[in-house]
């Protein structure tokens, strides 16, 4: 696509459709973040010696990145955490495009696990790099970028206060639907920081179960 200049996106009929799909649904700041996530994921893969088209499926990496925050859109705002809602919406879209189930599953896993770095990092490269690239765009820890690399990306995909917009989108959904931010989850922690709510302790949660595991218990 001419709008993205020389940035190395793997353009296929499917990735073009996915980019249009995400761009039409997402706020510009979130869409740009998702596109940058691919570029940083690919950069981090290069630093690990991973070659697109050889060691991982470049099309799947872009699909996972560009759709990874689809849960922060109106059509994606379901009853689960936004990462799971986004994975479901992405799977629905890709299935409708005729993508094979095993490929849909990889993208679903990449999106559903992008907030779980310890797990995603141990999965296949497409999953690991979606997590790594999306995280690097918000907090660039790891290999330093080549001089001018970020400037070239931001010239085409400006940040538009990405971190602040993402925070407000996650919290806004969760305040309207508290079940989207369960205690001890990342969305739950963001809501706790905003509202000052107190989370139940482990013991309080277990005592609420009705199984009476703490009755008469002594260490």
CA–CA gap between residue 104 and residue 64 (Å, rounded): 10
The pTM score is 0.95
Closest CA to 110 of 97, 99, 119: 119
pLDDT in tens, 144-161: 999 999 999 999 999 999
Q: Which CATH code fits 2-159? A: 1.10.3210.10
pLDDT of 1 above 80: no
Q: Quote the tokens at residue 8.
A: 């190395």
pLDDT in tens, 84-141: 999 999 999 999 999 999 999 999 999 999 999 999 999 999 999 999 999 999 998 8
pLDDT in tens, 168-211: 999 999 999 999 999 999 999 999 999 999 999 999 999 998 99
Domain ranges of the chain: 2-159
- Coil, helix or strand at residue 146: coil
């Amino acid at each position: 696509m001419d709008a993205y200049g020389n940035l190395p996106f793997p353009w296929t009929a499917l990735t073009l459709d996915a980019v249009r799909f995400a761009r039409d649904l997402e706020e510009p700041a979130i869409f740009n973040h998702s596109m940058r996530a691919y570029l940083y994921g690919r950069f981090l893969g290069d630093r690990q010696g991973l070659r697109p088209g050889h060691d991982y499926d470049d099309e799947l990496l872009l699909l996972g990145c560009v759709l990874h925050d689809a849960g922060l859109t109106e059509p994606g705002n379901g009853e689960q955490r936004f990462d799971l809602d986004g994975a479901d919406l992405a799977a629905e879209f890709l299935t409708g495009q005729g993508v094979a189930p095993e490929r849909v599953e990889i993208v679903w896993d990449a999106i559903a696990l992008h907030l779980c770095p310890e797990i995603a990092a141990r999965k296949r490269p497409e999953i690991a790099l979606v997590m790594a690239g999306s995280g690097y765009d918000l907090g660039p820890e790891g290999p330093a970028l080549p001089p001018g690399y970020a400037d070239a990306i931001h010239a085409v995909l400006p940040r538009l206060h990405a971190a602040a917009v993402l925070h407000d989108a996650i919290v806004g959904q969760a305040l309207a639907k508290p079940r989207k931010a369960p205690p001890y989850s990342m969305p739950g922690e963001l809501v706790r920081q905003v509202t000052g709510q107190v989370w139940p302790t482990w013991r309080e949660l277990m005592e609420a179960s009705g199984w009476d595991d703490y009755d008469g218990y002594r260490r």
